[in-house]
Amino acid sequence: MTHRPTAVFAMDPVHLPQLFPAELMDRLHTLARIDPAVCVRDFAAPGAELTEVEVLITGWGCPPIDDTALAALPKLGAVLHTAGSVRALVGDAFWARDLPVSSAAHVNALPVAEFTLAAILFAAKDAFGARHRYALTHRYPTSVETASVGAYRRRAGLIGASRVGRRVLELLRPFDFETLLHDPYLAPAEAAGLGARGVDLDELLATSDIVSLHAPDLPETTNLLDRRRLALIPDGGVFINTARGALVDERALTEELVSGRLRAVLDVTQLEPLPADSPLYTLPNVFLTPHIAGSLGNELARLGANTVAELERYRAGLPLQHRVDRADLARVA
C-alpha cells in the first residue's frame, strides 16, 4: 500500500498533545491525511465527514464502534487504539466486519510494571512504614526493629502472567527474590521459563511475603481475592494492586488493613476515587495512589509512537504487530 490513507482521531482531544507531540504528529502527516483539529466524539453527529476515513485512531473518550459508527465509516480498514483494552470499544458488529484492531496495551504495561517493581522494593524494606514512624518519632530504628525487613531472598508472588506480570518478572531478575506465579492458563514449565515457580493461588497467598495482583478484570475474576483468600496472606504480608479494584473484596481488605495485620500498596480501588471517609487514606500501613501506575505525562508519547508504527505497517500492507484477537478477550483485559 503506497497511498496515504485518510485517518481521523476519535477520542477526547485533551489527550492529543501528549499522545502525539510535534514530532509524532509530523510523522502521522507523512503517513496519512489527518486533521489534528478534528477529534470525533460522536460518530452520528451532524457534519461528521467520515465516509472517506480508512483508519480510525482511537483513545480514551472514544465512543463505541457500533452499527452506527460502522455505517458512518464505510471505508474503514483498521482501528489503531492508543490505549489498552479494546473490550468496551468494539463489539459484535465490529468483529462481524473482520476488521483489524490494534492495541497499545503492551506499551501501557511498561510503566505499570516499573511502578510495581518500585513498590515491591520499597515494601521489602518497609520504606512506607519507616517513613511514617520516622515522621512521628524523629529517630532512626534500632537493629531489632529492622530485623524482619529487607529484600534478600524475599518471596514475591505474582497473580497473573499478563503483560504487566511478565514484565515485572523480567524486572525482578537482577534481584534476590524468589518468585511464585499463579495463572490458570499457564503450565508449570511456562512459569519456569518466565523465571518463576508456578503454584496454585492459595499456596501463593499463604507462602508469599509480597503479593502483587496482575490478573485481568473479567466476570470470573470479580472478588478473586475474597475474605478467605486475603486471610491466607501471612501476618505482616504486603498486598500490591495495580490491576483493578474489582478483583478484590474491598470491605474484607479494608478490615485486614484497619486491623494492622497486612500492609498494602494500592493504586486502584473498587470505587475511584474512594469516599472521603475511607480509612485507606490515612492508615499508616497503606500506601495509596490515585491510579497513576499506567502511562502518564511524557509516557503517553510512547503510546502515540506505537500507533505511528502500526500505521506504518498498515500503509506498507503488513499485518498489524499488536492486533487484538477476539478470542483473547475472554482471558485478557
C-alpha cell at 125: 524494606
* Residue 225 one-letter amino acid: L
What are the helix (H) ranges across 160-231?
163-172, 188-193, 201-207, 227-230
Number of alpha carbons in the 13 Å side-chain half-sphere of residue 131: 11
Instruction: Tell me if residue 313 is catalytic.
Output: no
Q: Which of 50, 162, 58, 55 is nearest to 104 (CA)?
A: 58
Strand partners, 57: 9, 80
Task: Choose, from 133, 291, 302, 323, the residue flagged as catalytic.
Answer: 291
Place of cell 524523629: 138
* Rounded Cα–Cα distance for residues 182 and 191 (Å): 8
Question: CA–CA distance from 40 to each of 26, 84, 151, 278 (Å)?
Answer: 20, 19, 49, 38
Task: Choose, from 229, 244, 315, 322, the residue flagged as catalytic.
Answer: 244
* Rounded Cα–Cα distance for residues 215 and 331 (Å): 9
Question: CA–CA distance from 120 to each of 47, 172, 206 (Å)?
Answer: 51, 9, 17
Instruction: Tell me if residue 312 is catalytic.
Output: no
* Residue 321 one-letter amino acid: Q
Task: Choose, from 170, 220, 272, 326, the residue flagged as catalytic.
Answer: 272
Strands (E), the chain: 7-10, 55-58, 78-81, 101-102, 154-159, 177-182, 197-198, 210-213, 238-241, 263-266, 286-288
Instruction: Specify the DSSP class assigned to residue 326.
Output: G
Q: Which of 122, 112, 104 is nearest to 293 (CA)?
A: 112
Instruction: Specify the DSSP class assigned to residue 190.
Output: H
Instruction: Tell me if residue 272 is catalytic.
Output: yes
* Rounded Cα–Cα distance for residues 324 and 30 (Å): 26
* Active site amino acids: 244, 272, 291
